[in-house]
Structures are given as structure tokens and as C-alpha cells.
Amino acid sequence: MEESEQNNLFTTFQQSIESIIKEKRVNPKNEKLLNKFNARVIIGLQIEEDYYFWVNLIANEGIFSLGKGKFDDYDLELRAAPEDLVFFMNGENSVLNMVLKNNVFGYKKLRFSKGSTGKRNLGILLKLSKILVLD
């Protein structure tokens, strides 16, 4: 994958997440969830069968930042194809659909692994799904 394609993918993904969080902040009932969510998540966007473009999401007391790359200390690792994540974020695919069905590469649409601490952190996955999915 070329550098310009990686930049376009990252920018699109970043803008999608920022717009979802901005829209969630409009509703006062989401404010507590957004402000109390603290996590370091790495997301592998599966571009080809054996190639992942890694981005990281850091949430700390209501401040969300997205960056390129993978880091050593994280709470949760997610892997998914970009198109599956888009359908997940706009509400077309549920968490169950993402965890049970396969993507175009033959893997589960959403795969998650333990964090660097060795904990599974399913609570972070469930909270992240509430944050990233449009109502």
C-alpha cells in the first residue's frame, strides 16, 4: 500500500471517528460515557489477507485522539476490514454480526485480542461499541 493511500485511509477513518464522537457529544446522555472512557486501543485495518494498516485510539477523560501505528502498551487490539468497520459504525452491522460472520478474507469481521497487560478487557470492547456506533 502506497503512502498516499495510507494517508487517505487514515484521514477517512479519523474523520469518521471524530464526526461520530462530535455527534455523540450533542446528546447529554452520552456525556458521562465519553468522559469516563479511558483506553488505549490499537486497530488493525485489514487491507489484504496478510497486511494490516495499524492505527491507535487513545481515550483519556473525554479527549479522543487517533494516530498511526501500533504501540507496545495497550488495553485492547481490534482487527477488521475497513469496510466492515464502516458498516459497524453506521449501525448496519451489530456487534454479534461482526463477531460471528466472516469478512472477504475468510476471518471474522471483528477480531479482538488481549491487551499488553494480558487482560481480555471485554468491557472496553462493549463501551467502545457504544461510542463508535451511531444511534
pLDDT at 135 over 80: no
Query: Does the model's pTM come out above 0.85?
Result: yes
Q: State the pLDDT at residue 49.
A: 92
Q: Which domains does the chain have, with CATH numbers?
A: 3-132 (3.30.1050.10)
- Sheet order of strands, 63-68 included: 63-68, 51-60, 39-48, 76-80, 111-113
**pLDDT tens-digit map of 24-69:** 999 999 999 999 999 999 999 999 999 999 999 999 989 999 999 9
